[in-house]
Amino acid sequence: MGKKARKERVEKREDFAVKRSREKRKNALVAAGVFGLIAVIVGYSVYTFMSQPVSTPGTPPGAGVFGDEHEHVSVLVRIFGDKFDFSGPAFQIKNRWIHFEGRDGDTVHRHSSGVTSGYLFETLGIDLTSECFIFPDGREFCNNEDYSLKFYINHEPVPSILNYVGNEGDKILISYGDETLEQLDEQLEELDSQIILK
**Full-model pTM:** 0.71
Cα–Cα separations (whole angstroms), residue 174 to 8, 42, 68, 81: 101, 51, 27, 11
Q: Do residues 179 and 123 share a domain?
A: yes
Range of the domain at 3: 1-52
- CATH number of domain containing 142: 2.170.130.30
Q: Do residues 89 and 162 share a domain?
A: yes
Count Cα atoms within 13 angstroms, Cβ side, for 55. Answer: 6
Q: Do residues 99 and 47 share a domain?
A: no
Q: What is the pLDDT of residues 122-175, one digit of tens each?
A: 999 999 999 999 998 999 999 999 999 999 999 999 999 999 999 999 999 999
